[in-house]
Chains A and B, each alone.
Chain A
C-alpha cells in the first residue's frame, strides 16, 4: 500500500510540477541600481580631505569626531532631485530638531569638477544659506571616488547634457562607520528621527512600509505621527483560531446528532 502510495505521490508531484511550470508568471524584479543599505551598513568610511565653502580645509574624521554626520551627495547644476532632497532634509531637521547639537549635515558635491564657489551659489539659490549645523564641501576626485564607493553611491553623465543620473541619498555616519542609509528624493521626519536615534546608539529596526497596493495589510502606520492602527489583514491572524474552535464545536455537535439520530 505504501509502495503504491509512494508511486502515486511521485507521479502526482511530477504532474503538478509540470502544470505549475506552464502557468509561470515572472517573479518580481529588484532594481539593482538603487544603493542597498544592507550592503553598506557598518562599513568604515574613508577619511578623505574636504574643502568647505567657507574656504577651510578639513578631514572628514575631524567632522565625525565632533558629531555624527548626515552626508548628502549633490551637484550644483542638478535639475533633478538634489534640491528637493535638500529642502526636505531641511524641513525634517527643523521638525525633528537637534541639528548642530546632536548631529551635523554635510552636503558634499560628488562632481569632481565642481568648485566650492559653484556649490555656494547653488545653496544660496535654493534658499539654504547657512542653516545651523549644516556644512557644504567639495573634494578632490580621487578621495571623492573612495568615499562614493564606500557608501554605494554612483553617478553617470547623461549624454548631450550637463546633467548626471544619480540616486538621492542620505548617509548617517557615526564614529567613522555607516550607521544608516536612506535612498529617495526626499526624507520624512520619522526617518530622520530613526537615524538620529540610531546615531545615539539606540537600536532601530527597519521594515519597509507596505504601500496601498499591498494586499491584506494588518496594520496602517502613519509616519508623521508614528501611530499604528489595525487594518483588515489583522482578521486573517484571528480567523484560524476562531474557525478552529468553532469547527470543533460544530463537529462534536454534528457527530453526536448523527449518532443520536
Chain B
C-alpha cells in the first residue's frame, strides 16, 4: 500500500481519531487504555475504512470499550485508575488560593472519575452529546436504542455528575 492521501485509512484516521480517543477516554477513564483501545478500534474499522462515518467509528469504539470493561470486571478489577486520584481530590481550602490550572486539572480528574460511576449507556450519551455535540438521533443509532430515550438518559447522567462533583467541592 502506498502512503498517500488517497488511502482511506489516512482519511479515516485524520477525521476521526481525535473524537474516538476522547470518547474512549471518557468511557474507560485512563489515557493508556484509551490509546490501546483506539488502536483496536481502527483495526476493526480497517476493512470498512472507505465507508466509515462518525456513527460507525463511535459504535466500534464503544464496542471495543465495552469488551474491555467486561474483561476488566470479569478479572475482578473494580477499581478504576481514577479512583486512587479521587481520594486525593478533596477540594483544596480556599485560603490556599489554588490557581486556575490546578483547579481545572482537579475538575477534569474528578469529572472522569464521576463519569466512571455512571452506567456505560449514560456515559456514552453524556459524552457524545455534551462533548462531541452529536444529535440524539445519532447517539440513539450508536447505542441501538430509541431516540426518545436519549434526553432522559442525558438528564440522569447530568444529575448524577452534578451530585458527585458537588460532593467534591466543584460548582455544579
Q: Does A pair with B?
A: no
Task: List A residues at the B interface (Cβ < 8 Å).
Answer: none
